[in-house]
Amino acid sequence: MSPRTSHPHPSAASPDSAQAAVASAHLMNTYARPATVFTHGRGCRLYDAEGREYLDFLGGIAVNALGHAHPRMVSVIRRQAARAIHISNLYHHLYQAPLAARLAQLSGLDRVFFTNSGAEAVEAALKLARAFALAHAPAGSPLAPSRILALENSFHGRTFGALSVTHSSKYRLPFAPLVPGVEFIPLNDVAALRRAFTADVCALILEPIQGEGGIHSVSEAFWNAARELATHHGAALIADEIQCGLGRTGRPFAFQKFSSLPDMVVVAKPLAGGLPLGALLASERFASAFSPGLHGTTFGGGPLTCATALEFLDVSQQPRLVANVRRRSLQIRSGLRALARRFDFIREIRGEGLILGVELARPGAPFVQAAFSHGLLINCTHENVLRLLPPFLITRRDVEEFLVKFEAALLAVIQPGAPQHAEAPAAIPRASSAAGKIEEP
Ligand SMILES: Cc1ncc(COP(=O)(O)O)c(C=O)c1O
């Protein structure tokens, strides 16, 4: 059967079915997508080609932290696109250094290298750790420390280096052999970390809150031990804040709940408001291991993305928005706890700020589908953890609507056929919260 006819489609001549046929014929088979075609968004809402509205509690997997079509993002992109989209990294432009200074000031680190994605920021961090180890290897020693420690359930990206420190064998095995010398430690197992952290280690990479791994947080004891061991061995402690960083926890960086700094931090996803931009931040000590020619990129840190990222940081660091992240988090968690008292298959609610996970005692995929058909976008990670990464500007009413739709999705799966009370996706876009407007609770 031709792929054009085998792809499911919602209605015979819909824009969705036409797109689905082309997608099925010409896109590589890397994502299992529903047939729906999204056309535009506003605030925390997305709209599909048939005019249905969806409450976006996934936010492009932590990218759309200011929602869709935020007026200040739109305006800076328009302005900068008309001035210069790309200027080679062979030259300075107006925005790269100021953005580096802003990230340094927010993080307490010193220097920045810009990339196009999270995985590339991880690659840069691993290379910097190796370059630093080589530069500081004792004179006469045959080999510089090169082993890398990472955590079980970690996710750091799909390129070879990043994949090598990503734990899940389903991502790794088809591409082996990967970069050698990586060892995985169980999360928060201080004794295992101490056993593995020997003098030949050049880096430990960890997510302060594991995203793809099911929203699990690094404990203070583990962080402190990691800091102590890395300092003792002259190895790099690398915090991967690609998913949990840049305001999502209610702090600029998730690691800032601990009392010590990492040596490097990698960020990406929301940094340029949806344009592709990542960054490696490092202390002066480690950053000094890079010199001209050792690492580079064509696109990373161009004027369009950097100008937009400066605007993103200005907007996302406003005290009112930071307070909103914390308040909405409390509201979501208290609503979910109430649901957990009624639905005994909700095992645990985890996370902080607006990176939250709901662990179920059963597979999560049917709930994601049911939520979708009720006009709610969430996803499932680690098979049974429903993940919420809504934009920072969600309002109290958005959260109330989320809880109604989430409950309807739970009921739709466990009692198929029972009457549902939550609204299905509206056929015509309804009045929604204006992009950028934050309603006080
Ligand atoms: C913690 C973490 N690190 C790295 C990555 C890879 O980022 P990218 O997809 O931009 O390469 C991701 C992506 O989901 C991530 O969540």
pLDDT of 431 reads: 42
Protein residue whose Cα sits closest to atom 6 of ligand 1 = 157
Confidence of residue 423 (pLDDT cuts 50, 70, 90): low
Strand segments, DSSP code E, in 327-438 are: 346-352, 355-360, 376-377, 379-381, 385-388
Of the candidates 172, 167, 181, which has an alpha carbon nearest to the alpha carbon of residue 129?
Answer: 181
349-389 pLDDT, tens digit each: 999 999 999 999 999 999 999 999 999 999 999 999 999 99
**pLDDT exceeds 70 at position 274:** yes
Task: Report how far residue 73's alpha carbon sits from residue 63's, in angstroms, rounded to the nearest whole number.
Answer: 13
List all residues 6 or more positions away from 429 whose beta carbon is below 8 Å from its beta carbon: 45, 47, 51, 53
Residue 209 in tokens = 């809150």
Protein residue whose Cα sits closest to atom 10 of ligand 1 = 118
Question: Average model confidence (pLDDT) for the chain?
Answer: 92
**pLDDT exceeds 90 at position 17:** no
- DSSP bridge partners of 142: none
Distance 419 CA to ligand 1 centre (A): 39
Strand segments, DSSP code E, in 156-310 are: 182-185, 201-206, 209-210, 216-217, 236-240, 264-267, 278-282
- Report which ligand 1 atom has the smallest distance to the Cα of 117: 10
Task: Report how far residue 103's alpha carbon sits from residue 282's, in angstroms, rounded to the nearest whole number.
Answer: 10
292-309 pLDDT, tens digit each: 999 999 999 999 999 999
- DSSP codes joined into one string, 114-153: EESSHHHHHHHHHHHHHHHHHHHSPTT-SS---EEEEETT
- Report which ligand 1 atom has the smallest distance to the Cα of 241: 1
Q: Which CATH class is domain 17-56+318-388+404-434?
A: alpha beta
pLDDT of 18 reads: 80
**pLDDT exceeds 80 at position 320:** yes
Residue 440 in tokens = 């006080």
Distance 78 CA to ligand 1 centre (A): 27
210-250 pLDDT, tens digit each: 999 999 999 999 999 999 999 999 999 999 999 999 999 99
Task: Give start-end residues of each CATH 3.90.1150.10 domain in the chain.
Answer: 17-56+318-388+404-434
pLDDT of 142 reads: 74
pLDDT of 139 reads: 79
Task: Report how far residue 144's alpha carbon sits from residue 138's, in angstroms, rounded to the nearest whole number.
Answer: 8
Query: What angle, rounded to 10 degrees, do the helices at 365-373 and 396-414 form?
Result: 120
**pLDDT exceeds 50 at position 4:** no
Measured in degrees and rounded to the nearest 5, phi and psi for residue 153 equal 70, 10
Of the candidates 385, 398, 406, 390, which has an alpha carbon nearest to the alpha carbon of residue 430?
Answer: 398
238 three-state secondary structure: strand
Distance 155 CA to ligand 1 centre (A): 7
Task: Report how far residue 221's alpha carbon sits from residue 383's, in angstroms, rounded to the nearest whole number.
Answer: 28
Confidence of residue 21 (pLDDT cuts 50, 70, 90): confident
DSSP letter assigned to residue 43 = B
70-97 pLDDT, tens digit each: 999 999 999 999 999 999 999 999 999 9
Distance 62 CA to ligand 1 centre (A): 10
Task: Please list every protein residue whose CB sits less than 6 Å from any atom of ligand 1.
Answer: 61, 117-119, 122, 155-157, 207, 211-212, 240, 242-243, 268
Task: Report how far residue 246's alpha carbon sits from residue 249's, in angstroms, rounded to the nearest whole number.
Answer: 8
**pLDDT exceeds 70 at position 102:** yes
- Report which ligand 1 atom has the smallest distance to the Cα of 162: 4
pLDDT of 419 reads: 65
> Given the DSSP bridges, would you call strands 346-352 and 182-185 parallel, antiparallel or unpaired?
unpaired
- Sign, CA torsion 253/254/257/260: negative
- Report which ligand 1 atom has the smallest distance to the Cα of 269: 10
Task: Report how far residue 296's alpha carbon sits from residue 167's, in angstroms, rounded to the nearest whole number.
Answer: 27
Confidence of residue 432 (pLDDT cuts 50, 70, 90): very low
The CATH number of domain 74-316, selected from 2.60.40.1170, 2.170.120.12, 3.10.180.10, 3.40.640.10: 3.40.640.10
- Report which ligand 1 atom has the smallest distance to the Cα of 154: 1
- Report which ligand 1 atom has the smallest distance to the Cα of 278: 10
Strand segments, DSSP code E, in 171-234 are: 182-185, 201-206, 209-210, 216-217
Task: Give start-end residues of each CATH 3.40.640.10 domain in the chain.
Answer: 74-316
Distance 145 CA to ligand 1 centre (A): 26
Q: Average pLDDT in the 159-169 region?
A: 98
Measured in degrees and rounded to the nearest 5, phi and psi for residue 51 equal 85, 5
Distance 179 CA to ligand 1 centre (A): 18
